[in-house]
Amino acid sequence: MGLIIYGNQKNVDLIIETTQIDEFPADLRLYIKTLLTTCAYAGSGNVIKIQEFQQLVAKKKDEINPKTKMLAIIGMSVIAIGEEMGMEMLPRSFNNFLQFGDVTTKKAVSLAYSLLSVSNPKLNILDQLLKFTFDNDSDVAMNSIFSLGLVASGTNNSRINTELRKMAGAYAEDPKILPIIRIAQGLLNTGKGAISLNPFYSENFLISNRAFAGILISVLCFTEKDALIGGKYQYLLYSLGLAMKPRMVMALDEHLNMKQIQLVIGQAVDIIGAAGNPRSISGYQVNTSPLLINVGERCELLH
């Protein structure tokens, strides 16, 4: 699942097409091909591959395996992650899937939302996930609760903390959903707010293949929940440890002792192509290291 293939589009497609999977049944061949394409184009923002996955989702029930359809929906988020325009457009496609899809589609969409905003609780994504948490289908509710944990991981978000407490009371007698709520609460308070699961570095410029593979493994486990997470393979959730990293900024002296320095921290601003010498930080504040930096923020030395 951590497979990432590099090269131009023609080479990647050739590798996928020539994979020796002819001896598998047709449904399994399509599933494997979809998984390989998802991993190969992870973070690329390739619009053509997203459209191919949309065509898979649009097929009728008797033409495609529901598990392949779930993987295609998640694959769209995997491909679009890190590309701002694609991440803004995908929720519109998800809304269309929800209008015309079945319960299987809803299960996948609740997981796909989490990949668009790991450790970055955006309001529009939170609102969508909170709608699913009390769904009539228990699998949809569990997927949405786990997705809330991923979206809010390491942020100590007060709104999600309150909602999870309400859910714990509502599902207190449900032995299947309550453990997922506890997992989501643990993700919310990861490292007491000092650890993030965001797989990107350098302001979304670089993606960590190791971290992203860990997140993808845990998300795909919930597509086979009864056999994996609901069975005897709960330890697969430990794959999230691959994505954990501190979101602290600190300075060290020549003896590797912590040193306090003045830093300017605020919302990152794209200044590429801007005239003059504009500031790359908006709404900044001056703080002393060590400090915590959130997704979308930037810090610089105080001049």
Residue ranges per structural domain of the chain: 9-246, 249-301
On the question of pLDDT at 1 being above 60, the answer is: no
User: What percent of the chain lies above the pLDDT cut of 90?
Assistant: 15
Determine the pLDDT at residue 87.
82
Q: In the predicted model, what is the mean pLDDT of the chain?
A: 83
Q: What is the mean pLDDT of residues 270-275?
A: 74
- Predicted confidence (pLDDT) at residue 277 exceeds the cutoff of 90: no
In the DSSP assignment, the letter for residue 293 is -
Residue 13 has pLDDT above 80, yes or no: no
Which of 92-101, 180-189, 282-291 has the largest mean confidence? 180-189
pLDDT (average), residues 268-278: 75
When pLDDT is averaged across residues 114-142 and rounded to a whole number, the result is 88
Judge whether residue 303 has pLDDT over 80: no
Q: Are 114 and 78 in contact (CB under 8 A)?
A: no
Give the integer Cα–Cα distance in Å for 105 and 90: 14
Task: Find the helix or strand (DSSP H, E) in which 96 lies.
Answer: helix 84-100
Q: In the Cβ-directed half-sphere of 73, how many Cα atoms lie within 13 Å?
A: 32
Lowest mean pLDDT among 9-13, 110-114, 156-160: 9-13
Determine the pLDDT at residue 147: 92
- Measured between alpha carbons, how far is 241 from 195 in angstroms, rounded to an integer? 11
**CATH, range 9-246:** 1.25.10.10
Judged against a pLDDT cut of 80, whether residue 10 lies above it is answered with: no
Instruction: Give the pTM.
Output: 0.85
User: Residue 4 has what pLDDT?
Assistant: 46
Write out pLDDT tens, residues 147-196.
999 999 988 888 999 999 999 988 888 888 898 999 999 999 988 888 88
The token pair that represents 224 in the structure block: 């086979």
Label residue 20 by pLDDT band (50, 70, 90).
Answer: low
- Dump pLDDT digits (tens) for 209-254: 888 889 999 999 888 877 788 778 888 888 999 989 888 888 888 8
* Least reliable range by pLDDT among 15-19, 93-97, 217-221: 15-19
What sign has the CA pseudo-torsion 120, 125, 127, 132?
Answer: negative
Which of the listed ranges 40-44, 185-189, 196-200, 263-267 does the model predict with the highest average pLDDT?
185-189
The C-alpha atoms of residue 238 and residue 89 are separated, in whole angstroms, by: 31
- The alpha carbon of residue 170 and the mean position of all alpha carbons in its chain are separated, in whole angstroms, by 26
Q: What pLDDT is stored for residue 182 in this prediction?
A: 92
pLDDT value at residue 3: 47
**Percent of the chain's residues with pLDDT above 70:** 92
Q: Which residues pair with 287 in a beta bridge?
A: 263
